[in-house]
Amino acid sequence: MEAVNQTTGTRLSKRLRRQRAGRIWGNIFAIAVFTFIYIPIAMMVLFSFNDQRTNYYWNGFTFEWYKYLFTESDLWGYLVVSLIVAVASVILSLAVGVLGAMGLMRFEFKLKKLISNSLYIPIVIPEVVLGISLLMLFEVAHFPLGYWSMILAHTTFCIPFVVIIMRGRMAGMDMSVEEASMDLGANRITTFFKITLPMLVPGILSSAFMSFTLSIDDVIITNFVTGPYATTLPIKILSMVKVGLKPEVNAMTTVMVVVLILGILANSVVQAMLKKRASANKKTYF
């Protein structure tokens, strides 16, 4: 609530009334948008409790599907594949991307402009194009489709995000501390591990998170490079969609959303604790 100007009387000025109306309309609008993007999720959660073999209409409430999910369901196998692919791609894309961001920031070389611009290709072109081109590459190279083809494909679309995020973070950092480190006698390698890397940790974490979420939910590209023996959860779901999703899938996805939200909450709690600890450093030195 705004304080009312005692001198000009109890009425709010036109400006303040206009500002307040603007805020109210803004909030109404935001609630409407949130409703639109959350309705599908609400439906998804609701139908995970649906007492029917295939989700077409609401048939009554049951916990059956959660019981089924945690006892008999074969969805976990696909989730494991998704996780293996995601973790491997995150590690690979971080290794290539973090180094790459440093290289592209600091050094001048012949192909720099070309490489730098080519990073935007996987981000801006439609995923389907990247998918078919990788499929062609693997076919031409007689590279078998399976775990590795998926990992290489996912790494390819994660690297640009890692490089761009890291480059953004590095640009906002005072890198003269590296020079200071070398001035004090540390070599390049020591400087990288003792100074550069610790400074880059926040950027690396957000790159890792970004890459992980991109990888774990990818449908379009994975569909082209998935193999006959191992496939990811989204591709399994894609094949099920055509015949109608079982509530089991809703239950699985609901569990994943809950885990995601718990993760976000845990992260914010840890961040707050770290901040508190940093501001109250009681370590004694002498």
Partner 1 sequence: MSEPIVKIQHVDKYFGENHVIKDLNLEIEEGEFLTLLGPSGCGKTTILRMVAGFEDATNGIIEVQGERVEDKEAYERDVNTVFQSYALFPHMTVYDNIAYGLVVKKVPKDEIKERVKEMLELVQLMGFEGRRPDAMSGGQKQRVAIARALINNPKVLLLDEPLGALDLQLRKQMQIELKRLQQKLNITFVYVTHDQEEAMTMSDRIAVMKDGIIEHLATPREIYAKPRTKFVASFIGESNIFSGHVTEIEDGIATVETKFGKGRMPAEDFKVGDVAHLCIRPEVLQYSKEPVDGFSISGQVKNMIFVGSVHRTLIGMDEEYDARINRVKYDTAYNEGDTLYLHWEMEDVTGIHGQEDEIDA
Partner 2 sequence: MRRMKNAPAAATAGPVSIWMIIFVMAPMIYVFVISFMTRDPYGGIEAKFTFENYTEMLQPLYLKVILKSFKLAFYTTVICLLVGYPMAYWIASKKPSTAAKMLMLVMIPYWTSSLVRLYSANLLAMPNGFLNTALLKLHIISEPLNLLYSDTMVLMGLLITCLPFSVLPLYSSIEKLDKSLIEASKDLGARPVQTFFKVIVPQTMPGIVGCIILVFIPALGMYYVPDVMGGGKVMLIGTLVKNQFLVTKNWPFGASMAILLILITLAILWIYTRFNKLEDLEVV
Which positions lie near partner 1, rule CB under 8 A? 3, 5-8, 13-16, 18
Q: What is the size of the binding site for partner 2 (CB under 8 A)?
A: 89
Q: Which of 4, 21, 24, 125 binds partner 2 (CB under 8 A)?
A: 125
Residue 26 near which of partner 1, partner 2, none (CB within 5-8 Å, type-dependent): partner 2
Among residues 207, 222, 251, 235, which one has the least CA distance to residue 152?
A: 222
Q: Is 1 in the site for partner 2 (CB under 8 A)?
A: no
CA dihedral for 215, 217, 221, 222, sign (positive or negative): positive
Among residues 57, 26, 223, 58, which one has the least CA distance to residue 132?
A: 223
Q: Which of 12, 84, 91, 152 binds partner 2 (CB under 8 A)?
A: 152
Q: Is 107 in the site for partner 2 (CB under 8 A)?
A: yes
In angstroms, give the least distance from the CB of 174 to partner 1. Answer: 21
Q: Give the DSSP H/E element, type plus range, for residue 102.
A: helix 75-106
- The residue count for the chain: 286
Residue 14 near which of partner 1, partner 2, none (CB within 5-8 Å, type-dependent): partner 1
Structure tokens at 204: 């690396």
- Helical pair 147-171 and 75-106, crossing angle rounded to 10 deg: 40
Asked if 108 and 255 touch (Cβ cutoff 8 Å), the reply is: no
Q: Which of 83, 121, 175, 255 binds partner 2 (CB under 8 A)?
A: 121
Beta strands in the chain (DSSP E): none
What phi and psi values does residue 218 have, to the nearest 5 degrees?
Answer: -70, 130
Residue among 14 and 283 whose Cβ is closer to partner 1: 14
Residue 15 near which of partner 1, partner 2, none (CB within 5-8 Å, type-dependent): partner 1
Q: Which of 211, 223, 230, 231 binds partner 2 (CB under 8 A)?
A: 223
Residue 193 near which of partner 1, partner 2, none (CB within 5-8 Å, type-dependent): none
Q: Which of 2, 53, 58, 70 binds partner 2 (CB under 8 A)?
A: 58
* Cα separation, 196 vs 100, whole angstroms: 14
Residue among 13 and 54 whose Cβ is closer to partner 1: 13
